[in-house]
Amino acid sequence: MSFRKRPMRSKKRSKTRTKAKKKDPIFVDGERPRPMYVDYKDVELLKKLINRHGRIVVRRKTGCTAVSQRAVTKAVKRARFMGLLPYVGD
């Protein structure tokens, strides 16, 4: 039996990267509005939270908390129903 020798890997540890926490776009002056509500008539804010295909952008990319993401989803759906936002993109 012959065994192939593997090239030696360096035992250097990779640097752990610290991710900068994204600011929640829904928070006003750094504070969470109570109750959490996103106005469905605020089309400029909602356009930032949907992509060019008309899909709602995920939490990881927007930096929203789970509570504010639910409020955004509800507002986007209401705006679509009212005809303020399209269901599909370009």
Report the pLDDT value the prediction gives residue 44, as an integer from 0 to 100.
Answer: 93
Q: For residue range 7-60, what is the model confidence (pLDDT) as tens digits?
A: 766 667 667 777 777 788 888 777 777 888 889 999 999 999 999 999 999 999
Q: Which of 21, 28, 41 is nearest to 68 (CA)?
A: 28
- Residues 73 and 90: their CA atoms lie apart, in Å, by 20
Report the pLDDT value the prediction gives residue 30, as an integer from 0 to 100.
Answer: 76
Report the pLDDT value the prediction gives residue 10, as an integer from 0 to 100.
Answer: 66
- pLDDT at residue 67 is higher than 80: yes
Q: Which of 43, 32, 39, 40 is nearest to 67 (CA)?
A: 32
